Structure 1
């Protein structure tokens, strides 16, 4: 599988309100794509349409298409739960199940998808997922301790391990480092760089340095004013976006003139 996402003429609505207007982009496989832009410009809303998470809000709908390797994620009869198994999500605040053990947290998504798994396969999956999230060595001797006992940075990596365990093709991250200290942030950034060897990674971030450090492509979203829809202003190689943006608004935002 190439794990490529093609977005065509995408509009996102909440009831009668147009939240994001006419997005067209191709998210390259096995790369890191960063969404940047001021608060309220639709970055997180658009991110959530990529695995149909926005649908948990009543009245949310989209027009246009999103295809993963040519398969329409909004096609007739497509199960949103199956979409979310292929396209995992890591949220802004670490959200392990606090009363579940570290081991149970890793396996939670697998069990949610009703996958039957033997104890030996479960043990192996827990180890490979935690190793994939660079957490195994820190927790291997306390897998039965509550996930809520871990530090914030460890909890976020546990959530990433939980995503990996379902064997997705794409991992979405909505400001995954905004609640973390600098050392934990660095650990998650290093992990994101490793994850792109196996997954397509899409991240929303307000940290310009982070976007320039870890992403291959950057998409700048903006909004004309309160009540207006968010729009994709510019999308390209991160180096180009940060050194030679084509749009004045992109340059103004990156240089901190607004937002």
Structure 2
């Protein structure tokens, strides 16, 4: 088995530090022995073949993995040096600080655009009535959707296009002011123009947030990510393992592991 290489360390604290993490379903590990540092204000892409544990690893970063029956975690996920899996942590607070955007747009279809944005406030700060409109505009602006929907705030979220619905979900996540945004294949259900809009958004919001994205699209990882982590299985029925992580340009041009090069060049995966 290739020996995983340590992540490239940069100055400043890690927003998320994954230490010796193994995540399983009904006793069967999906991803094992992961050590990964997520640097603040960067985009980190998780790439690798299907079944390598990318989405499982992502969901471990805010505890959502444990909402699945039979799921378990060993190891640590440190959020600013606090292990989110210790008994004293509040899962609601963790998910406020570490937001999630899923593969398919998940707006509340009959709820208005405005109310979709405000729906997450029960997890975060509460505002007086006068602050709601400002928050809606701010969140939709950050999600690069305000100009398209500012005259349709009472329109049900389900009536927006697929790309608009995904940006609405991003606005809903941003409304509670998370520190980290996890994105699980956010463009897989979208067309090319909507995909480019989401990619532009990802590159923009890293100035304020820390972003971790799972993607099967290697070109997308190359376009948006500062750091790329490659996971793969070492054999049939084996859990996914972190093989290599580093600056995206190095992963795609001069990977240090043969398994990484084989996946990047299409020889494996």
TM-score by length of 2: 0.93
1:84 corresponds to 2:95? yes
Q: Which residue of 185, 191, 195 corresponds with 2:201?
A: 191
Q: How many residues align?
A: 258
1:124-149: CA deviation from partner (whole Å, max 9, x where unpaired): 11000000000000000010110001
Q: Secondary structure at the match of 1:176?
A: coil
Residue equivalent to 2:105: 94
Residue equivalent to 1:130: 140
Residue 13 of structure 1 and its aligned partner are, at CA, apart by: 1.5
- Write the mapping of 1:206-225 to structure 2, written as runs, cut at 5 A: 206-225=216-235
1:241 corresponds to 2:245? no
CA distance 1:39–1:135, shift in 2 (3 Å): same
CA distance 1:209–1:96, shift in 2 (3 Å): same
Q: For the Cα contact (< 8 Å) 1:3–1:199, is it kept in 2?
A: no
Residue 114 of structure 1 and its aligned partner are, at CA, apart by: 6.9
1:89-111: CA deviation from partner (whole Å, max 9, x where unpaired): 00000000001000000001113
Residue equivalent to 2:27: 16
- Write the mapping of 1:98-247 to structure 2, written as runs, cut at 5 A: 98-111=109-122, 113=123, 115-247=125-257
Residue equivalent to 1:44: 55
Residue 228 of structure 1 and its aligned partner are, at CA, apart by: 1.0
Residue 225 of structure 1 and its aligned partner are, at CA, apart by: 3.1
Residue equivalent to 2:66: 55
Residue 80 of structure 1 and its aligned partner are, at CA, apart by: 1.3
Q: Distance in 1 between matches of 2:48 and 2:78?
A: 24
Q: Distance in 2 between matches of 1:54 and 1:72?
A: 15
Gaps of 5+ in 1: none
Q: Secondary structure at the match of 2:202?
A: helix
- Write the mapping of 1:60-79 to structure 2, written as runs, cut at 5 A: 60-79=71-90
Residue equivalent to 1:256: 266
1:187-222: CA deviation from partner (whole Å, max 9, x where unpaired): 000000001000000000000100001000000000
Q: For the Cα contact (< 8 Å) 2:27–2:72, is it kept in 1?
A: no
Q: Secondary structure at the match of 2:119?
A: helix
TM-score by length of 1: 0.97
Residue 224 of structure 1 and its aligned partner are, at CA, apart by: 2.2
Q: Secondary structure at the match of 2:58?
A: helix
Q: Distance in 2 between matches of 1:173 and 1:146?
A: 23
Q: Distance in 2 between matches of 1:75 and 1:88?
A: 19
Q: Distance in 1 between matches of 2:13 and 2:256?
A: 29
Residue 115 of structure 1 and its aligned partner are, at CA, apart by: 4.6
Residue 15 of structure 1 and its aligned partner are, at CA, apart by: 2.1
Gaps of 5+ in 2: 1-11
Q: Secondary structure at the match of 2:166?
A: helix
